[in-house]
Structure 1
Amino acid sequence: MTTSETVATAAVNGFAKLDGKAALVTGGSRGIGEAVALRLAEDGADVALTYQGSAERAEAVAAKITAMGRRGWAVRADSADPQAVRDVVEAVAERFGRLDILVNNAGVGVLGPIGELALDDVDRVLEVNVRAPFLFAQAASAHLTEGGRIITIGSCIAKRVAFPGASLYGASKAATIGLTKALARELGPRGITVNVIHPGPIDTEMNPADGPSAEFQAGLTALGRYGSGADIAATVAHLAGEDGRYISGAEIAVDGGFAS
């Protein structure tokens, strides 16, 4: 069954769980972000996605969303630019008339021995992986109402670092845990849930399942294999929907048992 057929069937059977909702997925032009954006659209949401690199790829994802009968919009925004972050949230809320779901997915990874990491590397990773999710959440919180959702994509090495050279990236992803728990407490009285998902090795262009370190990474999981973007998207969809209404401040590992 094609994606369009799945959506049509869901609509007929009343299973489009996010009808009338509007979502923003940062870094949604490829990999996990693309899978999340498409899944939210399948479940009925209008979806805006940010990108920094290829406009063609981002527009292709937006076109797929539109083909599902939802509103799709690709917006170029550098997550390292605080004003761009604020502007894109306001633009999405204005274009869709609301904002219900924020998925902080955009991120950068710089690995290497701590003594070899340049200051520019440190600044870029912290700007994109730590400051941007905070600023996106800050801007989105002005628009989110009862039932609003903030979901951040963390990492399996946010708490367990099984190999050397991940000090900078691991620190940045560990910060998403503190942000999530603090925001859950702060926004809970408004009926807004906040959660973080920690993916394990996921088959993407940046970290392919047939890449040079794939066998090593797969071996760190209990299942002995990579996951897919769809695995992460399914958990995002659950948290974004009504079934996730009583989950907040949680860390959810979708990592094939990496943390076991």
Structure 2
Amino acid sequence: MHTVLLTGGTRGIGRAAATEILRRDPTTHLVLLGRASSVHPVAAELRALAPHVTPLDADLADLTSVRRAAATVGRLLDAGDLPPLRVVGANAGVQLVDALHTTPDGFETTFAVNVLANHVLLRSLEPWLRTPARVVVTVSDTHFGDLRHTGGLVPAPRWSDPATLAQPAAFPRPSTAVAGRTAYSTSKLAAVHLVHAWARHLPVGVDVLAYNPGFVPGTGLTRAASPVARFVAGRVLQVLTLQPSIDDVQTAGRRLAAALLGDVDAPTGAYVDRSRVVPPSPASYDEAREDALWRFADEVHAAIATVGTPGHPEGRSGSPV
């Protein structure tokens, strides 16, 4: 028996993956991290498949909430209320209509949820990971930034200093959807960078992978978009799932579950494209960027752990960290 912890498990690919994990092994203890309004009803539904489903309230846009949820998981593990933690799926993600949304911590929301929340969660859970363990971070082939991988729908990433990327208005015309999509592709490049950095940091026996589901219509990722964009993504583009190169939600969820449960033979730090290990973008191999991002994310984690929310009066004045 073991514990699988999953973010983004209440809808889309994550929900399908949670269902597949419990279907394959009903003895699994599944911990779902998410907002209470969604995570508790979904957990109740999943218990029809298997009894061991624990919902924990966590807002991925609030890093203090992430840290608090991880601490709760640690207490449950220490008390023996959960079996050993062997799998973490950092699947939650957002794509917004601008680059101006701001979290309670003072960070731009896309970067906070898609990058910093993952680091805070993994850093906080690190003492409880028991080998053999696997961490899977859901990324996106938009990090390539080329026509082949984006179809021209998402701008290429625009890399900058991590402290700049973490701030609202980090991209030109920040109030536009183009800036929001640029923030998304850039955050997914950052996520691949961070997987590489984690691969160097974690001990032998704890593997970390980047999982790319490819383009999957109907996931809910565009729920913050305009009504027209939501209609296109949710209805019209679902026709594309008839193409063999594009998965539907259920197939992508099964493939995520396979990556989480170790069906995919992949070395730590690998990039899993649907079900195959392939190289990520050439730009994602940049150890200087990776180290800079790791240092910044670790500063954020340290601020959360020691003085509460970054930007709080007890912290450093005038800066999120």
TM-score of the pair, normalised by structure 2: 0.62
Query: Distance between the aligned counterparts of 2:5 and 2:57, measured in 1?
Result: 12
In structure 2, what is the equivalent of residue 92 of structure 1?
73
Report the AA paired with residue 177 of structure 1. V
Q: State whether structure 2 residue 127 is matched by structure 1 residue 142.
A: yes
1:51-62 residue pairs with structure 2 within 5 A?
51-52=34-35, 54-55=37-38, 58-62=39-43
List alignment gaps of at least 5 residues for structure 2.
156-177, 224-228, 281-321
Query: Distance between the aligned counterparts of 1:136 and 1:206, measured in 2?
Result: 21
1:118 to 100, 104, 107: 100
Larger Rg: 2
In structure 2, what is the equivalent of residue 6 of structure 1?
none
Query: Distance between the aligned counterparts of 1:54 and 1:82, measured in 2?
Result: 18
List alignment gaps of at least 5 residues for structure 1.
1-19
Question: Which digits, 9 at most, give the CA deviation of each residue in 1:65-107, with x for residues without a partner?
Answer: 3223341012211112222212212323414143111111111
- The percent identity for this pair of structures is 25
- What displacement does 1:239 show? 2.4
Query: Distance between the aligned counterparts of 1:205 and 1:183, measured in 2?
Result: 28
Question: Which digits, 9 at most, give the CA deviation of each residue in 1:167-208, with x for residues without a partner?
Answer: 111101111101111112222x43011111122133224459
How many pairs align?
Answer: 230
Contact 1:102 1:140 (8 Å CA) reproduced: no
In structure 1, what is the equivalent of residue 261 of structure 2?
241
In structure 2, what is the equivalent of residue 182 of structure 1?
197
Contact 1:218 1:225 (8 Å CA) reproduced: no
Contact 2:218 2:235 (8 Å CA) reproduced: no
1:105-254 residue pairs with structure 2 within 5 A?
105-111=91-97, 117-118=99-100, 120=102, 123-160=108-145, 161=150, 162-163=152-153, 164=155, 165=178, 166-187=181-202, 189-199=203-213, 200-207=215-222, 211-213=231-233, 223=243, 226-244=246-264, 246-254=266-274
Query: Distance between the aligned counterparts of 2:240 and 2:208, measured in 1?
Result: 28
In structure 2, what is the equivalent of residue 75 of structure 1?
56
- What displacement does 1:119 show? 6.0
- What displacement does 1:29 show? 1.4
Q: CA 1:96–1:111 in 2, change beyond 3 Å: closer, same or farther?
A: same
RMSD between aligned residues: 3.1
Query: Distance between the aligned counterparts of 1:219 and 1:36, measured in 2?
Result: 22
- What displacement does 1:224 show? 7.0
